[in-house]
Structure 1
Amino acid sequence: MAEIEWMRLTAAELNGRAAAGALVIVPVASLEQHGPHLATGVDIVCATAVAQRVARLLDAAGAPVVVTPCVWTGLAEHHVAFGGTVTLDYAAFAAVLRGVVRSAARAGFRRVMLLNGHGGNAEAVAVAATELSVELGIAVAAGTYWHLAPEAIAPVLERQPGLMHACEAETSMMLALMPEAVRRERLAEAHGPHSTRTEGQPPALHRRRSFKEVTPSGVIGDARAASAEKGERLLAAVAERIAGMLRDEALWR
């Protein structure tokens, strides 16, 4: 199996990947509170893991691919009130994404996937992908991993219909990937409402509010049913689904 991490490859090796038409996957995340039971790096760990697993599946299928280090901070203003959170404003976040993608383009790569792992970044990465495609003249796609594969996530979970925040899904993935980052003695407290929306707020109406106003625990969903076995199943199913999407040549034409 070929090396898939940008930071582990030499400049000459990366030049070869670019010449071969490799896809660059950029995991994008956030550093923020994740309830009483999870370390703040959840989105970084999970986005990186999903990106790398997708890349290994692509590589196994003969598709050249490279994964950059994670863009570790994003738009997390809605978590600041809890503490432990680092956030950028939109201009700074967009500039970071532009710098990373422009660097990939200058290195000769013509296809980039912004693979997002933080809900607060979802709209911003989509806008960035469109703007950068036009500006740089390369193909840039974007998506949030759980939005790309909801049908792969729902059957694994017992207490919620999809991935939320510091929830059954994220806690399960952390138990699989970095169990030392889970404070098991606090799991009994790790539950909250199953939506950040006020009663009657339609799905198409966007109004982001502080999580402190919505959930005293900082959790959306219910982490008490989490397990490492569920986490491994989630990671495998999501990676398989997204790798299938990215193998589709029609996406890149």
Structure 2
Amino acid sequence: MAHATEIEWMKLTFAELNERAAAGALVIVPVASLEQHGPHLATGVDIICANGVAQRVAHRLAAVGRPVVVTPCVWTGLAEHHVPFGGTVTLDFATFSAVLKGVVRSAARAGFKRVMLLNGHGGNAEAVAVVGGECQTEFGIAVAAGTYWHLAGDAFAPILERQSNVLHACEAETSMIMTLLPEAVRGDRLAEAHGPHSTRPEGQPAAMIRRRSFKDISPSGVIGDARAASAEKGEALLEAAAERIAEELSNAKLWG
């Protein structure tokens, strides 16, 4: 039964999904955005990376006998700060919330009791956390939320040369795309793929949030320096994220 090892919701039949729900499977919902990623990357970076991380996490869980299923990615998010470049799709919060709630509500109605909203876009981070909490209250199931590079924590720093975690269209994201979808990288534009290493002006603490247009912050659209990227780093980053997040999701106390 090949389907027994399948982790993608869309590749399973309704009966097979009913079996997963009855077995207490965790549903992982990748959440992303469609937006500019500098001169050298296609706009689907966050979708590709969120899917890539979610599926690697799921395969690790399944390999040790933990039932799991991954939905298709929620590909639209909150990306107003990238709109001035063009090539960006964004939602308002009410619509984004409604879409996420629709997916989680559907999972609950299909019999699943645990959902992880696994976010892959910085602009979604606070919103996904809020929606996850509201879903728990409204649907009576356990819902966790987090952004994959926040969940990976310090696991990325030893792999990267010019930054300690994910920035934007940077060494980390470019490396992962070189691994996951190399045709999405424009190698002839890599020389231009660098910018400031922070979106915050001097004096703004990390704990203070104020979104600004990336076009005002970085003419290239890049935060960080993608010139140090490699497919080898990308593979190491993806495996580090999958290992750390699978371990975190395996914690029974999280779902108690």
Q: How does 1:29-68 map to 2 (within 5 A)?
A: 29-68=32-71
1:189 has 2:192 as partner: yes
2:209 maps to which residue? 206
| 3-state SS of paired residue (2:157) | helix
AA aligned opposite 2:28: I
Aligned with 1:150 (options 150, 153, 157): 153
Q: How does 1:113-128 map to 2 (within 5 A)?
A: 113-128=116-131
1:84-141: CA deviation from partner (whole Å, max 9, x where unpaired): 0000000000000000000000000000000000000000000011110011000000
**Take 2:208 and 2:248, find their aligned partners in 1: how far apart are those partners?**
28
Report the CA distance between 1:160 and its aligned residue: 1.2
1:75 has 2:78 as partner: yes
**Take 2:107 and 2:208, find their aligned partners in 1: how far apart are those partners?**
35
1:19 maps to which residue? 22
Q: How does 1:163-174 map to 2 (within 5 A)?
A: 163-174=166-177
Unaligned runs of 5+ in 2: none
**Take 1:151 and 1:202, find their aligned partners in 2: how far apart are those partners?**
20
TM-score, normalising length from structure 1?
0.99
Identify the range of structure 1 (202-211 vs 24-33) with the bigger mean alpha-carbon deviation: 202-211
Aligned with 1:175 (options 173, 178, 190): 178
1:249 has 2:252 as partner: yes
1:137 maps to which residue? 140
Aligned with 2:90 (options 87, 90, 108): 87
| 3-state SS of paired residue (1:149) | helix
**Take 1:143 and 1:165, find their aligned partners in 2: how far apart are those partners?**
17
Report the CA distance between 1:185 and its aligned residue: 0.4
1:100 has 2:103 as partner: yes
CA RMSD of aligned residues (A): 0.6
**Take 1:150 and 1:23, find their aligned partners in 2: how far apart are those partners?**
22
Unaligned runs of 5+ in 1: none
**Take 1:205 and 1:171, find their aligned partners in 2: how far apart are those partners?**
27
Equivalent pairs counted in the alignment come to 253
1:9 maps to which residue? 12
Identify the range of structure 1 (89-98 vs 151-160) with the bigger mean alpha-carbon deviation: 151-160
Structure 1 stretches (4+) deviating beyond 6 angstroms? none
| 3-state SS of paired residue (1:24) | strand
Report the CA distance between 1:205 and its aligned residue: 1.4
Aligned with 2:163 (options 160, 163, 166): 160
2:112 maps to which residue? 109
**Take 1:210 and 1:78, find their aligned partners in 2: how far apart are those partners?**
4
**Take 1:37 and 1:150, find their aligned partners in 2: how far apart are those partners?**
26
Report the CA distance between 1:214 and its aligned residue: 0.4
| 3-state SS of paired residue (1:154) | coil
Report the CA distance between 1:150 and its aligned residue: 2.3
Identity %: 77
1:35-60: CA deviation from partner (whole Å, max 9, x where unpaired): 00000000000000000000000000
**Take 1:39 and 1:150, find their aligned partners in 2: how far apart are those partners?**
26
Report the CA distance between 1:202 and its aligned residue: 1.0
1:231 has 2:234 as partner: yes
1:173-223: CA deviation from partner (whole Å, max 9, x where unpaired): 000111110000000000000000011001121110100110000000000
**Take 2:11 and 2:206, find their aligned partners in 1: how far apart are those partners?**
42
